[in-house]
Amino acid sequence: MVEGSMIILGIESSCDETAVAVVDDERNILSNIVSSQYQDHKPFGGVVPEIAARAHLTHIELIVNKALEEADLTLDEIDGVAVSGGPGLIGGVIVGVMMAKGLAIAKSKPFIPVNHLEAHALTARLAHDISFPYLFLLVSGGHCQFLIVEEVGDYTYLGGTIDDAVGECLDKTARLLGYAYPGGPTIEKLAMKGNPDAFLLPTPLKGQVGCSFSFSGLKTAARKVILEKKNTTSSFQADFCASFQKTIGEILVDRARHAFSMALEKKPEINNLIVAGGVAANQYFRECLAACAQENGALLVTPPVSLCTDNGAMVAWAGIEYLKRGFEGSLDFTPRPRWPLESLKVK
Ligand code: KG4
Ligand code: ZN
């Protein structure tokens, strides 16, 4: 372990957010700037990789400067530069990695490329005093998987989606109802006024061994109901969203039960379930998963919403976790479109 205080700049540009943050090793977030490209992609109904890369390039320098300014620090006072080195949309990842390398070289500071998924997995330790090992569920627009987080750089994959991610299922269904990306928050809002028992929807893989997910069947069934009912009234939308959300909650809880039994068999000392990714912002899912964690003698811990969605603070924090352990990246690092978490091993 490296002693003494440490301040890291973290850059995130692997999807549609250009984000930069400054974080110290006492878990203080000195700045956390997120510039969303939401408006750039809106006309296309989804993230367009080429537009994303160009927008990152346009904004990144400004966002870096803003993050430093808000932290009231200069680059000379930073102890290292961390960046999401993948997985993600490669154009954006390249922009972030090049910026991070440039800053690190210019100021002779450590360069720390981090795995974007690992940054999500470690965020709980930035927001809360959590020790290893813990069970981790990542639920976002592109990811849906359970892992055991054993240590920094040491992950055991338990199961994940065999088709769509849960966020994708929420977004595509919201779109059929006539709502723009991101659909998850809209569905949560509409669900509040609806009857969760109005529609019976399928719960793929529920009760089956392992903790894989499948959402394509649910997505198709939802589509059928929306088209059949012609999506006419607001009470239909509320009832449908409430039922849809309840069904996803049921799936998440069933899979989490299985994930717990797999994880506890391997690591009986696990007493935390950490959920991160954009979908973790959903209050109803949080309540379902909290009850499931309690059943398993564990506590559900979710980072604050601003740290659940893509941000630079989680990247800076992952950089701190690595640098504290004496790990520095190489300037030869190549941006990675794919980078499975379980392939990491630094011990
Ligand atoms: O982690 P994230 O910001 O981006 C990546 O996909 O990497 O996650 C975005 C996803 C979208 O699918 C969005 O609909 C979903 O998170 N989401 C929610 C909520 N807020 C965001 N899903 C359900 N309820 C929410 N409140
Ligand atoms: Zn993410």
Task: Give the confidence band of 347 by pLDDT, cuts at 50, 70, 90.
Answer: very low
Please give the average per-residue pLDDT across 38-66, as a whole number: 88
Q: Measured in angstroms, how far is the CA atom of residue 45 from the centroid of ligand 1?
A: 15
One domain for residues 117 and 250 = no
One domain for residues 180 and 65 = no
Task: Give me the pLDDT at residue 246, please.
Answer: 98
Task: Give the confidence band of 328 by pLDDT, cuts at 50, 70, 90.
Answer: very high
Task: Give me the pLDDT at residue 181, please.
Answer: 84
From the CB of residue 207, how many other CB atoms can be counted at a distance below 10 Å? 8
For residue 306 the two structure tokens come to: 């601003």
In a domain, 1, yes or no: no
For the CA of 305, the nearest atom of ligand 1: 20
Task: Give the confidence band of 153 by pLDDT, cuts at 50, 70, 90.
Answer: very high
Q: What is the pLDDT of residues 314-325, one digit of tens each?
A: 999 999 999 999
Q: Measured in angstroms, how far is the CA atom of residue 318 from the centroid of ligand 1?
A: 21
Q: Measured in angstroms, how far is the CA atom of residue 108 from the centroid of ligand 1?
A: 37
Please indicate whether residue 2 or residue 256 has the higher confidence score (pLDDT).
256
One domain for residues 21 and 143 = no
How would you class 202 by CB atoms within 10 Å of its CB: exposed for 0-12, middle for 13-18, buried for 19 or more?
A: middle
Q: What is the pLDDT of residues 216-253, one digit of tens each?
A: 999 999 999 999 987 778 899 999 999 999 999 999 99
In a domain, 299, yes or no: yes
Please give the average per-residue pLDDT across 255-271, as a whole number: 98
Query: How do beta strands 7-12 and 80-86 pair?
Result: parallel
With 50 as the cut, is the pLDDT of residue 44 above it? yes
One domain for residues 245 and 282 = yes
Q: How far apart are CA 257 and CA 276, in angstroms?
A: 17
Total of domains in the chain: 2
One domain for residues 209 and 296 = yes
Q: Could you tell me where the DSSP H helices lie in the chain?
A: 38-41, 49-71, 90-107, 116-127, 166-176, 183-191, 216-228, 234-266, 283-295, 305-308, 312-324
In a domain, 2, yes or no: no
Range of the domain at 107: 7-123+307-343
Helix (H, G, I), strand (E, B) or coil at 161: strand
In a domain, 34, yes or no: yes
One domain for residues 269 and 245 = yes
One domain for residues 155 and 49 = no
**6 - beta bridge partners?**
none
For the CA of 283, the nearest atom of ligand 1: 26
- Domain of 197, CATH number, reads 3.30.420.40
Q: How far apart are CA 243 and CA 121, in angstroms?
A: 29
Q: Measured in angstroms, how far is the CA atom of residue 79 from the centroid of ligand 2?
A: 24
Choose which residue among 16, 89, 170 to substitute to test ligand 1 binding: the one with the highest number of ligand atoms within 8 A of its C-beta. 170
Choose which residue among 84, 188, 252, 279 to substitute to test ligand 1 binding: the one with the highest number of ligand atoms within 8 A of its C-beta. 279
Q: Which helix (H) or strand (E) holds 33?
A: strand 29-36
Please give the average per-residue pLDDT across 262-272, as a whole number: 97
CA dihedral 120, 126, 130, 134 (to 10 degrees): 10
